[in-house]
Structure 1
C-alpha cells in the first residue's frame, strides 16, 4: 500500500534544479461594460440606467449635492440623514422597512460636506416598489419629533466615541491644515451642535436642500434601461424644489508648508498625515500619476510599504492615494506608528518621497503597478454595486462609461518616462504639508530635530 506524504508549499515550489519558475502573467481579461441610457427629467433629476445581468438584482445610488455654509448645517444634515427613513405622511418606520423587505430591498443614507447619498439594492422586479419608497421619503418624509430626539441622542453618543479615536483627530487636523475653515472640513459636527437641533430645523432643511435639480440617480442591474427610466419618471417626477441642489465650492489649493505637530496627551501611537496637490480623473496625466502613486505607496508591493512595514517594522499598514474634491484632487499619504518610532517613520517617509523623485520608477515597477491598477479596476466593476458606485462618482465629475472603458488602455499606454515625470512633479517632499498627531512630550524633540515641523 502506498503512503502519501504531505509536501509543504516550499517543497512544491522547488525542484532538484532549484525553484520552479513562475509562469508569465496572462493577458488581462476585459470586463464587458454595458451601455448607459441617460435622461434628465423635467424636475432636473439626471437619471442613468445600465443593464448588467448575472443576478436578478438592481443597485440604486442617488447623489444630491448638499453643501451649506451655516455653522449648524453639518449637525442638521446628519440628523436629516439619520431620520429620512423613519417615517413619511403615509408610512411609519416599520412600514418602510416592511415594504422594502417585501422586495428584498434595503436603503441607507449618508451625508458629508459635499453630498447626501441614498444607496441600496433590491430584486430587479421589485424596482417599482423600491422607487415608490424612495419617492415617498424624498417628497413626504416627516422626521417625527420622537425619531429625531432618539436619533439625536444616538448621534451625540457616536460622535463622542468617534472624537476619542486617533484617526478622527488626525483627519480633522489634516483637513484644517490643508483647507483652513472651508466647509469641506466640517465632516463631523460637534455633539453640542447636534444636541441643539430640533425636528423643525431638519424638516426645513429637507424642504430647502433635498431637491432634484443637479441630483443624479444611477440604476445598474438586471433591468431594461428604457423601462427603468420610465419607472423613475413615474415615481419621482413629482419631486420638486425651488432651485437646484447646492454644490460645494472648490476648497483652496493646498499650499506646501511645514508639518504641524498636534499634541494628543497620553497617546501611545502617532498618526502621520501628509498631503499635496494632485490631478482630477480627466487630466491627461492622471494615469501616469496613478501609477506613480502605486509605486510609492498605493498597494502592498509599493516602495514605502516595503520600507516602513516589511523592512523596518514600524507599522502594520501605510497607504497613499488620490482623494477627489470639488474642482480637483489631492494626494494623501498616511500611516500610524508607535510613538517611539515616529521620527524614524517620518524620516523614512520623506526619504521615500525624495527617492521617488531622484530614483525614478523602473520599468519592472511600472509594469507591476500597471497590472495591479488595471486588474483592480476591472475587479471593482465586475459586480452591479461596484459599477453603480463608479458610474455615480464619474457622473458627478462630468465623466461617463466611455471614460471608464478607455481607462485600462490609458494605463497600458503610459510610459516609464511619463511616470517618472509625474513622480517628480507630485511626490517631491517640498510639495507636501500635513500633520503629525501624537504625544508631543514623547515624540516632539526627535520630530522637531528633523526640521520642517511647527507646533500647533
Structure 2
C-alpha cells in the first residue's frame, strides 16, 4: 500500500520546519528595444520588441470627442459595427481571416476615444494589419448590421441603467462636470434607437482620423520592420484633419455631497471625489503610494476600517482616475441603508487621519512593494505591456516613462507621502454623491455637508 506524506510532513525536516525562501529583488523591465515615431499620415506608432510568445498585440486609440448631443449614441453604434463588414469583406470573412491567423480585433468607445484592440500570431501580422486597414478605410455599416447591433445596444443600455453602480456613476459625473461631453459615458437607449447607418457612416468619415491618434505594437517583432509594415498597410488611411480631442475639464473643488434619491433601495452608493494630478507631475509617485495607504488595496486603512473592523461593506476602495487633462481621486463604497451614515462618517475620518496620522514606515514599505510588484506583473505579458503603453501614449509618454517608474516609486520618502496625504486627501477637498432611499437614511443629514438634488 502506497503512503503519502502530509503537507505538514513535507514542510518539516529533522531540524524543524523548512525556512521560506526570501523575496527576490523586484526588477523593472530594462533594455526594451522600441521605436516611437510618427508616420506621414500623422499617426504616432510605438513598437516594442517583447518576444515572450510568438504573438503581436495591437492597440489603436483615436481621439473621438463630440459636442453633438447624439454623438455618444452614434459613437456606440459605430464601435459595435466597424468590424461587421467592409468593401472587401463581410462579417464572416473578417472573422474567418482573423481566426486563420489566431487573431482577433475588438472595438470600443468612451467619451474620449475610439479604441481598437487585437492580436495575432506573428505569422499572421500582415493579415491583422490588412483587416485593420480595411475597417479603418472601408467599413460599410450595412443597414442590416447597424439595425442588429443597434437593437442589442438598446437592450443592453436599458438593463445597465437599472444598475445602482451606473446610476451612481452618472450622478457623480454630472455633479463633477455638469454638461461637459466627458459625462456622456453611456448614451440614452432612446437616442441609440434613432441612429441610422447614414449617420454612422458620416461620423466615420468625419472622425476616424489618423492624425493625432496612437497605435501601439508589442510582441515578437523587430520594431523598425514592424513600423515599416504598418506604414505600408495603413498608407491609404490619410487625412489632413486632426482627430477631435475633448476640451479640458474644469478643476474640481471641494464642497457638499449631493444626495440622489432612489426610493425602495436597500443599499446606498457612496462616491467621494477630489482633484488629483497627472502622471507627469513629479508629485504623482507620492500620491500613488498615499492612495494605496488610504484605500487603494486590500490592506489599506479604509478597507481595514469599514470592511474588516466594522463590517459596513463588502466593497470599499479608492483609486486615481485619469482624465483628459489630469486626474481625480475617487473613493467608493456600497453599503446597506442602515449603516450608510456610519460608513460615510468613517470614510471622512480616514481621509482626515491620513494627513493627521502619516503613514508608518511599515505601511510605506508595504505599499511600495505592492505598487512596484503590481506594475511589473501588469507589464510582464505582451497584453499587459501593450495596454499600459497605450494608456501612456495618449498622454504623450512612452516606454521610458514605464521603465523608469519603479525607480521613482522606490525613491519616494515617507515624508513625501505624508505631504501628498495632506495636500490631496483632506476632506475639505472632496465632493461627491450619495445615492439611496431617504426614508431609510434618517441620520445622514446629521453629518452635515449634504444637499438634495
**TM-score of the superposed pair, with normalisation by structure 1:** 0.95
Q: Give the corresponding residue for 2:446.
A: 449
Shift of the alpha carbon at 1:29?
3.1
Matches within 5 A, 1:238-277: 238-277=236-275
Q: Runs of 5+ in structure 2 lacking a partner?
A: none
Counterparts in 2 of 1:186 and 1:375: CA distance versus 1, 3 Å? same
Does the CA-based 8 Å contact 2:43-2:215 persist in structure 1?
Answer: yes
| Residue 3 (structure 1) shift | 7.6
Q: Distance in 2 between matches of 1:197 and 1:241?
A: 25
Q: How far 1:56 moved relative to its partner?
A: 0.6
Give the match's secondary structure for 1:422. helix
For the residue of structure 2 that corresponds to 1:364, the secondary structure is: helix
Residue by residue over 1:386-439, the C-alpha shift from the partner in whole angstroms, topping out at 9 and shown as x without a partner, is 111111111111111111111111111111010000000000011000001111
- The separation in 2 between residues aligned to 1:288 and 1:419, in whole angstroms, is 5
Alignment of 1:41-440 (within 5 A): 41-440=39-438
CA contact (8 A) 1:208 1:242 kept: no
- The Cα shift of 1:38 comes to 2.2
Checking the alignment, whether the CA contact within 8 Å between 2:285 and 2:412 is kept in structure 1 is yes
1:138-161: per-residue Cα shift (whole Å, max 9, x none)?
000000001111111110000000
CA deviations over 1:94-116 (Å, ceiling 9, x no partner): 01000111110000000000000
2:334 match: secondary structure? strand
Q: Is the 8 A contact 1:51 1:222 kept in 2?
A: yes
Give CA-to-partner distance per residue, 1:303-359, whole Å, 9 cap, x none: 000111111111112111111111111001111111111111101101111110111
Instruction: Give yes or no for contact 1:353–1:428 (8 Å, CA) kept in 2.
Output: yes
Task: Give the direction of change, closer, same or farther, for the CA distance of 1:228–1:424 in structure 2 (3 Å limit).
Answer: same
Unaligned runs of 5+ in 1: none
Q: Secondary structure at the match of 1:116?
A: strand
**CA positional deviation for 1:35:** 2.5
Q: In the TM superposition, what is the alpha-carbon distance from 1:5 to its structure 2 partner?
A: 7.3
The whole-number CA distance in structure 1 between the counterparts of 2:168 and 2:179 is 16
Taking only aligned residues, the RMSD between alpha carbons, in angstroms, comes to: 2.1
Instruction: Name the CA shift for 1:312/1:8 in 2 (closer, same or farther; >3 Å).
Output: farther
Aligned counterparts of 2:182 and 2:31: Cα–Cα separation in 1: 33
CA–CA separation in structure 2 for the residues paired with 1:249 and 1:339: 38
* Displacement of 1:22: 7.3
Matched-pair contact (CA < 8 Å) for 2:64–2:207: yes
For the 8 Å contact 2:36–2:44, the answer to whether it is kept is yes
Q: Is this contact kept in 1: 2:29–2:403, CA < 8 A?
A: no
Please report how far the alpha carbon of residue 366 of structure 1 lies from its aligned counterpart in structure 2 after TM superposition. 0.6
Residue 275 and residue 22 in structure 1: after superposition, are their counterparts in 2 closer, same or farther (change >3 A)? farther
CA contact (8 A) 1:297 1:318 kept: yes
**How many residues are treated as equivalent by the alignment?**
452
Distance 1:23 1:364 in 2: 21
Contact 1:250 1:325 (8 Å CA) reproduced: no
SS class of match (2:443)? helix
CA–CA separation in structure 2 for the residues paired with 1:296 and 1:67: 33
- Take 2:7 and 2:239, find their aligned partners in 1: how far apart are those partners? 69
Q: Deviations over 1:277-298 (max 9, x none)?
A: 1110011100000010000000
Q: CA deviation at 1:241?
A: 2.5
How far apart are residue 365 of structure 1 and its match? Answer: 0.5
